[in-house]
Chains A and B, each alone.
Chain A
Amino acid sequence: MYLYDHYDQAMVDARVAEFRDQTRRRIEGTLSEEKFRPLRLQNGLYLQLHAYMLRVAVPYGTLSGSQMKMLGDIADKYDRGYGHFTTRQNIQYNWIKLEDTPDILADLASVEMHAIQTSGNCIRNISADQYAGATADELIDPRPYAELLRQWSSFHPEFLALPRKFKICVIASDTDRAAMRLHDIGIQIVKNEAGEIGAAFYVGGGMGRTPIIAPLVKAFVPLDELITYSEACLRVYNRYGRRDNKYKARIKILVHELGLEEYSRQVEEEFAHLQTLNIEPPLAELERIKTFFADPAYETGLSDDLDLSNPAFAAWVKNNTAAHKTPGYAIVNISLKPVKVLADGTKEAGIPGDATGEQIRIMADLAKTYSFDELRVTHTQNIVLPHVRKADLFTVWEKLVAAELAEANLDKITDIIACPGLDYCTLANARSIPVAQKIAERMADKAEEIGELKLKISGCINACGHHHAGHIGILGVDRKGLENYQLLLGGCEGADTSLGKIIGPGFDEDGIVGAVEKATQVYLANKEGEERFLDTYRRIGMNPFKEAIYG
């Protein structure tokens, strides 16, 4: 994992001191809210429905055990005992006091963390494949490049006042686990025909009001020009992105309005100019960064055999672990989407992405003992232990069971992405979480039979819950003052990214749960062979679903 050098630490410490002073001045009255608001937002502090909300950056979703432990401690010390992992691989706290915030930022700085650039019209936290460095299907580890991009984009003076926020994602495998093409810039590390490694740039993707799948702008950028090319993409956007209309200000609109060809031409022109300025960080810096991401000291000669005689453990291994590049190891996914069965047989689903301070510390401990002190946050609001010995899986699972963290439902219908929605968010039109809970409770018994089904819920058009990319997506809208839910089918992130289509008129809360259930019934009735829900939908189209749901 990357460790701060004294520049990183000095910058973050200086920011804490600066914010402490700004907060003091706000409370004393020498700073108005109008002046203070952009300053607190630059430090990740929003005002939400119930209190201030602090969003903490988790660079490319990677955390050490001590960082994770600190996140748990903050939940207990300054919040109400829990935190919410987000679709941007970050964590948010919902009940923060302004007067505590400088202390929280200081605590974060003590473990090389911060909340800088988690809000505002700047380059936000860089996201990446949560299996980076662990999976066999990647070309190289993308994290050194994500880290390089983090350093380049942190406090970049030219890009602190962009037309709108800007999200970059880096992956290095064809199996896109990070919704790469739904970012402002999606970078995939690829190999060209000559066998050289470089980066493919997809620019102008995103969700929100106008969902667009990022088109390929350049198929191959040499890795030693990654920053220069990124800078060129950003410069054209910064110059011509629409500042006159918030709804048209994202780069996707610029690329769309200029046309791919013209945007690419302008980027090439800027790129050629920037190449003469020699702005690429020195190779030595990249090499320095790479040393932090060297493989941990894996044991060799380990067996891949597992005793799967315990059915609950076997189900968890099947659903929640993934192949590791090293024999004898596995990637473990910890689901933050529990569905508890109560004594009377009824089900009680948890809040997607929420974990208590204690659970967060337990995951930190597991990382320390069993995963080379490393964790990842996924955009699906789950946690990953990237390098667990297969011989330790049963023990890890038992500890997760005891902490109510062992739901074996990865990528199943109960593993729902849900944004905070109207329960927490000032921008929301409708609640997302209770809908997720009701669906999970209704569908839990069928989840295994249904198989892979990615369900995503947003409480408003901003699409933090990625509803456009759900095999089933749900969008909360306000219909004459009442919560109403639109159903979308056929969205997908990943290598075959597609956008969901609205099936028809919306539903109330109970109606949407019933509609989802009917959609799964149509799938099960029409499924051929090993088809997933998405495959069946793509083959048979919307009509059979429409007929079943509205007929």
Chain B
Amino acid sequence: MKIITGNDLKSGAVTWWNGAAWSLHVNDAADMGDEAAAVIAAEEAARRVNGAYVIEAEQTADGIRPAHIKERIRALGPTVRLDLSLDPTATPDKVL
């Protein structure tokens, strides 16, 4: 699946496009297929997001898993400070 991520303009928080709005949780991300470019343009223009881009991810039993480790770290938090993660089930193994 193709999902959109970026950082919230004001807070810098990692955000995921759920199809209608931005969510802090990767599991809310919607598969945007070919519509991603239009969403990114509109949301950046509306100054709700900074530097949005599309990434590859897959739906797993555990939730949505971005394809690249960098995006998984963005989604779940630093592997060395998972106490700061928004996902209470986050473990280094889940990130890796």
Contact = CB atoms under 8 A, between A and B. Distances in A.
B94 interface: no
Contacts of A97: 10-12
Nearest to A94: B78
B10 A483 contact: no
Nearest to A350: B80
A27 B12 contact: no
Nearest to A49: B74
B79 A50 contact: no
A273 B54 CA distance: 54
Interface of B: 7, 9-14, 44, 47, 50-51, 68-70, 73-74, 77-81, 84, 92
B12 A51 contact: yes
Nearest to A482: B69
Given A49-B78, A95-B84, A99-B11, 15 more contacts: A27-B10, A51-B11, A51-B13, A94-B78, A95-B12, A351-B80, A422-B69, A423-B79, A423-B81, A431-B79, A433-B78, A434-B80, A434-B92, A481-B69, A483-B69
Contact of A52 (B12, B44, B92): B12
Given A47-B7, A422-B69, A422-B73, A29 B47 contact: yes
Interface of A: 26-27, 29, 33, 47, 49-52, 80, 94-99, 351, 422-424, 426, 428, 431, 433-434, 437, 481, 483
B10 to A, nearest CB: 5
Contact of B80 (A426, A433, A483): A433
A46 to B, nearest CB: 10
A417 B9 CA distance: 32
20 contacts: A26-B9, A33-B50, A50-B12, A51-B12, A52-B7, A94-B78, A97-B11, A97-B12, A98-B10, A98-B11, A99-B10, A422-B69, A422-B70, A423-B79, A423-B80, A428-B70, A431-B80, A434-B79, A434-B92, A437-B80
A contacts with B: majority SS: mixed
A47 B81 CA distance: 19
A422 B79 CA distance: 9
A33 B49 CA distance: 10
B7 A51 contact: yes
Contact of A47 (B50, B70, B77, B79): B50
Nearest to B80: A433
Q: Give the interface centre of B10, B14, B68 by most chain A CB atoms within 10 Å.
A: B10
A33 B50 CA distance: 8
Contact of A49 (B50, B73, B84): B73
Q: Give the interface centre of A94, A423, A426 by most chain B CB atoms within 10 Å.
A: A423
Contacts of A29: 47
Contacts of B73: 49, 422-423
A28 B32 CA distance: 28
Nearest to B45: A29
B47 A27 contact: yes
Contacts of A47: 7, 12, 50-51
Closest 10 CB pairs of A and B: A51-B12, A423-B78, A52-B12, A97-B11, A99-B10, A433-B80, A29-B47, A49-B74, A423-B80, A98-B10
A99 B13 CA distance: 12
A434 B73 CA distance: 13
Contacts of A422: 69-70, 73
Given A351-B80, A434-B80, A27 B9 contact: yes
A423 B81 CA distance: 9
A538 to B, nearest CB: 34
A475 to B, nearest CB: 17
B9 A98 contact: yes
B51 to A, nearest CB: 7
B44 A33 contact: yes
Contacts of B92: 434
A277 B10 CA distance: 47
A481 B44 contact: no
A80 B10 contact: no
Q: Give the interface centre of B44, B78, B79, B84 by most chain A CB atoms within 10 Å.
A: B78
Contacts of A80: 84
A96 B14 CA distance: 12
A481 B80 CA distance: 20
Nearest to A481: B68
Contacts of B74: 49-50
Contacts of B68: 481
A29 B50 CA distance: 12
Contacts of B79: 423, 431, 434
A399 B50 CA distance: 44
Nearest to B51: A47
Contacts of B9: 26-27, 98
A437 B81 CA distance: 12
A189 to B, nearest CB: 39
A97 B8 CA distance: 9
A422 B74 CA distance: 10
Contacts of A26: 9, 47
Contact of B51 (A27, A33, A433): A33
A121 B85 CA distance: 34
A98 B81 CA distance: 22
A162 B7 CA distance: 29
